[in-house]
Structure 1
Amino acid sequence: MLSLDVLGPAGPYRSRRVETIREFTGNPVATLSLAPPLYVARAMQALRRATELPLDERIAAFAAAGRAFATQPIAGLPVAEYQRIVSATTGIPITEVRNATDAIARAAERIQPSVRNARPAGATESWRDPITRGGAAVWSRRGAVFAVHAAGNHPAVHQGWLDALALGYRVAVRPSRREAFTPHRLITALRAAGFGDDHLVLLPTDHTAADEILRRADFGMVYGGADVVRKYAGDPRILPQGPGRSKILITAETDWEPVIDTLVESISGGGGVGCVNATGILVEGDPSPVAAALAERLAALPSLPATDDRAVLPVAPLGLARRWDEHLRHRAAGAKAWLGGEGILDDLGDGSAVLRPALHQLDSPFAENLGLELGFPCAWIAPWDRDAGIRPLRDTLVLTAITTDADLIDELVAEPSIANVYIGNHPTPWMAPGLPHDGYLAEFLMRTKTVLR
């Protein structure tokens, strides 16, 4: 079996307390060391004492690490075996794990334009820039140590903290105990490429020690559900990353039939497990024809083991799949079921089940379920009209607006609670390096200060 050690400030550390990570079939594949609270405290102190790696060296290290992450054996594990293990232990289709591998590599290799795009146009990177002789704004860190409580629903979430490391922060990552393979591989690659062990640590922990990681950092980012967002909403040091509640709006002057592929991709792309997958679809007029066509397409998606090259739907342990199924039935009571009314699990006979797509029709654009985000392709479709306005579209990570109404687009772009607006035939999971996801992380971690010399 693999041993996923703590990656501490003095190198790998194998704890006496370990957890066994298993495939959904029950086969054990790895042991994960858990860092005790005292070790965590000392590791965070070491990050604070570490000196900053020069910018040019940071950028070069990112480029080398990105290439290695996607193409070379890391800690003795070839990339193909890493991808197979992640798929087998998380239920994410293996083609999506491969896509995430490439996306992480691209993000690392293109890190310089990513952090540069976030910097105000009137600011410079260093006080050494000659323009500071006449007085200039300098882009500066607000702290030194950044902590991440990472999610385990998708490998690509680990693109989220790369900008902090590129900006000169020392970074502590507390991985999901469900999926520690990706951050272990990425941090090992970054260390081999030039980042010191005391610049970047991996601290798998229990919940008690996890709070210590955040307490000892200057700033932190935490992934989780609505409960996590509520817990940290009043803490200016913490950036919660909660449900995306991504949506699609189709207005009456547009034809929905040519965008049916976009609707399917928005709901089910990447296995349908991400915050950028669409959970709400609003249609001006009668949504039933859209729902019928969409249900037909989603029902045709195959049920296959996650490690099958043709798999497109997520897989879960049978017990968890049954709990998801029961939860959906409870929440969908009273809604018209186009898909999922008779259950969403497809038993594979090996202790796991495919989570099939669900699609329900609601009577109102203000129905609470329109923002319900679950761990599989699950969407809610409802009618929308101009009297409803943009209120049902608020609190959205990605909104695809299939409309030609420029005044409406003005409102959507101006709405503070909508993070991203895609106008026209673009799926909600679309992303590109250098563009903000939920704003630039640098907006949270950096500030400008005037320097005159």
Structure 2
Amino acid sequence: MAGPPSGPLRLEALGAGGSYRARNRMDVTDVSGRSVAELSLVPSLFVNRTLRALRRTSPLPADERIGLIVRAAELFATSTLSGQSPEEYVHTVSRVGGVPISVVRRAMRTTAARLSRVYDSVQRARPAGTVNDWRDPLTRTGRGVWSRRGDVFAVHAAGNHPGPHSLWPEALALGWRVAVRPSRRDPFTPHRLITALRTAGFPDDQVVLLPTDHTQADSLVRGADLGMVYGGEDIVRKFAGDPTVLIQGPGRSKILLTADVDWRAHLDTIVDSVSGHGGTGCVNTTAIYMEGDPAPLCAALVERLSAPVGLPPEDEEAVLPVQPAAAARAIEAYLLRMAAGTRPWLGGDGIVEDLKDGGAALRPAIHQLDRPDAPQAGVELPFPCVWVAPWTPQDGVAPLRNSLVLNAITRDDRLIDRLIAEPTISNVYVGDHRTHFMESGLPHDGYLAEFLMRSKTIIRD
């Protein structure tokens, strides 16, 4: 297993003219508070100049773009980039973000696999009545052509898990020039990925990394033609109603168990939906709605979820997320405050397990609610935390709204029809499927290309 580097890494901005070392730099620390990297923070002048440079350039030919992304996928997973081997990269992301190292390693491989299939992914989103290029012979008699809605795409990246970085390269495949603002918790994944793309052959003025402080983050998104931002309720409120921004907010993924199924046959799926990948993702289950008495299910979850022990995130046996001790205590205090009035099954006295190095593991929490519309069911936290609520057919779809993923374990086809028709439920899984199931070519919160592209009629001589 790779150990920590000998000194802090130097993570420079990756501008349209190459690497840039800014005077303003931020110390990136791991879960114990040890300095791991020094991240250059670029000023607004640099951001604006870089966006202008991206607008001036033209995209590479489509076939060339796809080929370079496929090549970058291999480099990302197998090569030493910016002085870090794949295992050193995995170790660093795990130590800083507190994500179990096995989860980070799997995310690295999954990202590479998705990038290697990027052409198929974007083509699945293309309307069947369109073609990719106006030169297609079908346009001589009139045809829809798939066209970009702009030139520059900005990404305000997530830091809770490396996986979301497998999505934005689809914009690059479609001919957008892309500017990524990394999260402090994980600047390493986008830096490595953009370095891989440039090493594969993308010019510097096609894809850039622009670390900024919070005051500049919004100007980056506003300065692009379209943007995608990750974050919590504050981000949702800030950009709500802006048609140029795709918001990737809390997932609030859920499981519904109806009386016509035996939940015991699906316990492995339920447990892993809550705790898989460290329970840190927007696709991890936040709430379970059950027709019948939830108590037996809660007891079974306690038996399964109370077993893991807290370990440093770089330990190969680690399964729980880790935070700096102060941050972990703040999450615990928030949980206990929000859980007031519920029935605690696990974590009612706290969820923090202090580690010897200054970090703290976040142990699972299970709370039973007394009604399906209890406000706690909408509370999403970055560890295995689940709210179990009663549900009846009379409650209908209303408590299940605003879900990134809803896993309906039911035999009621009419209920499934209603769930699929509900606009605020992004994905519906029916039966024994984990809520964190994701596959290349399947929409996450819709296809990204639905947001980036439009169809326009072309007819030519």
Normalising by structure 1, report the TM-score: 0.99
Question: Does residue 300 of the first structure (1) align with residue 307 of the second (2)?
Answer: yes
The separation in 2 between residues aligned to 1:25 and 1:230, in whole angstroms, is 32
Which one of 138, 158, 169 corresponds to residue 131 of structure 1?
Answer: 138
Q: Deviations over 1:204-241 (max 9, x none)?
A: 00122212211210000011111211111111111111
Question: Does residue 77 of the first structure (1) align with residue 84 of the second (2)?
Answer: yes
Secondary structure of the 2:183 match is coil
Matched residue, 2:397 = 390
Which one of 3, 22, 28 corresponds to residue 35 of structure 2?
Answer: 28
Question: Does residue 366 of the first structure (1) align with residue 386 of the second (2)?
Answer: no
Q: Deviations over 1:67-107 (max 9, x none)?
A: 11011111121000000010011100000000110111011
Which one of 398, 420, 430 corresponds to residue 423 of structure 1?
Answer: 430
Farther off after superposition, 69-78 or 108-117: 69-78
Which one of 350, 360, 363 corresponds to residue 356 of structure 1?
Answer: 363
> Contact 1:247 / 1:393 at 8 angstroms: preserved in 2?
yes
> Contact 1:37 / 1:208 at 8 angstroms: preserved in 2?
no
> Contact 2:93 / 2:104 at 8 angstroms: preserved in 1?
yes
Question: Does residue 174 of the first structure (1) align with residue 153 of the second (2)?
Answer: no
Shift of 1:25: 2.1
Secondary structure of the 1:137 match is strand
Shift of 1:160: 2.3
Which one of 303, 310, 325 corresponds to residue 317 of structure 2?
Answer: 310
Q: Deviations over 1:402-446 (max 9, x none)?
A: 001000001011111100000000010000000000000111111
Matched residue, 2:234 = 227
The separation in 1 between residues aligned to 2:450 and 2:364, in whole angstroms, is 36
Matched residue, 2:48 = 41
The separation in 2 between residues aligned to 1:278 and 1:24, in whole angstroms, is 25
Query: Following superposition of structure 1 onto structure 2, how do residues 40-439 of structure 1 map, counting pairs within 5 Å?
Result: 40-439=47-446
Secondary structure of the 2:95 match is helix
The separation in 1 between residues aligned to 2:323 and 2:184, in whole angstroms, is 16
Q: Deviations over 1:131-171 (max 9, x none)?
A: 11111110000100000100110111112211111110000
The separation in 1 between residues aligned to 2:326 and 2:83, in whole angstroms, is 33
> Contact 2:33 / 2:324 at 8 angstroms: preserved in 1?
no
Secondary structure of the 2:124 match is helix
Secondary structure of the 1:387 match is helix
Question: Does residue 441 of the first structure (1) align with residue 448 of the second (2)?
Answer: yes
**1:157 alignment partner AA:** P
> Contact 1:271 / 1:313 at 8 angstroms: preserved in 2?
yes
Structure 1 unaligned residues grouped into runs of 5+: none
Alignment length (residue pairs): 453
The separation in 1 between residues aligned to 2:44 and 2:361, in whole angstroms, is 38
Q: Deviations over 1:316-374 (max 9, x none)?
A: 11101111111110000010001110110001121111100000000001111111101
The alignment-based identity, stated in percent, is: 58
Secondary structure of the 1:222 match is strand
Farther off after superposition, 296-305 or 392-401: 296-305
Normalising by structure 2, report the TM-score: 0.97
Shift of 1:26: 2.7
- RMSD over aligned Cα, in angstroms? 0.7
Structure 2 unaligned residues grouped into runs of 5+: 1-7
Moved over 6 A (4+): none
> Contact 1:57 / 1:194 at 8 angstroms: preserved in 2?
no
> Contact 2:323 / 2:359 at 8 angstroms: preserved in 1?
yes
**2:412 alignment partner AA:** D
The separation in 1 between residues aligned to 2:456 and 2:365, in whole angstroms, is 50
